[in-house]
Homo-oligomer: A and B are copies of this chain.
């Protein structure tokens, strides 16, 4: 089960009633944050979640609205008696930038571990999460992230019997072990079927629509994507500032064949994002102009019998 909360939906600056865009995920006791703007720690508390179990913080890029809340968050995590290390992930320059910000947060009671992204696409397995970072197209180096929750194959007792696997090995094989027993090697595929569809969530801001985003959001259960402007008339501004209109984001979701799209990272000038959603749904019916704290719990799909 993957718990998700889009903590805020603002771009550029935090507003009363609209926190800066950031995503929090909870999976098996470990929390992950993507971006941390000014006020993100308050949004976490408003949601009723805790800052303490945030083991991983991913940054899309280093514009102030995506990282300005980091020193405050880390201080609060320290005040909540965290001592376990925290992994920070982001484009090149991460360690230097974070250390610069830590001038006002010295003496944290936990270590920071840094993973800097240098490739166009990079797979990272960290703190129980399977992440893929992929480069997008903004006016500074910027990455999107996909969270994958893989699901192993289904256990088939008939298959185990067919393969003459002793019953006492079934459980360990089902969990992925390779076992030598009485002179024979037993492998998991002797008792389980092929991997099943897991959970896939892709998060992306700030960028123009790009092929890497479409590819990485392919068949995602949820695509959380920036939509800086609701008005299609602002397309020129979107091109200049390397952002997207709602309709462009919907086109990405359509091409990626995602299941659902949450728009976020609204311009402060966009007062009522919901006003523009009707036209957006014509392009991609699963589109939502997200509000702060929009949440979902994603589980593995039910299997047909």
Contacts of A16 in B (CB 8 A): 42, 45-46
Tell whether A62 is near chain B: CB-to-CB under 8 Å: yes
Query: Chain B's nearest CB lies how many Å from the CB of A242?
Result: 16
Tell whether A256 is near chain B: CB-to-CB under 8 Å: no
A101 in complex: contacting residue of B12, B37, B101, CB < 8 Å: B101
| Interface residue SS majority, chain A | helix
Contacts of A103 in B (CB 8 A): 62, 96-97, 100-101
Tell whether A163 is near chain B: CB-to-CB under 8 Å: no
Contacts of A104 in B (CB 8 A): 62-64, 67-68, 97, 101
Tell whether A91 is near chain B: CB-to-CB under 8 Å: no
Q: Which residue of B lies closest to A46 (CB)?
A: B16
Instruction: Say whether A38 contacts B72, CB under 8 Å.
Output: yes
Tell whether A171 is near chain B: CB-to-CB under 8 Å: no
Query: Chain B's nearest CB lies how many Å from the CB of A128?
Result: 27
The residues in A between 256 and 300 inclusive whose CB is less than 8 angstroms from any CB of B are none
Tell whether A130 is near chain B: CB-to-CB under 8 Å: no
Instruction: Say whether A12 contacts B105, CB under 8 Å.
Output: no
The residues in A between 58 and 92 inclusive whose CB is less than 8 angstroms from any CB of B are 62-65, 67-69, 71-72, 75-76, 79
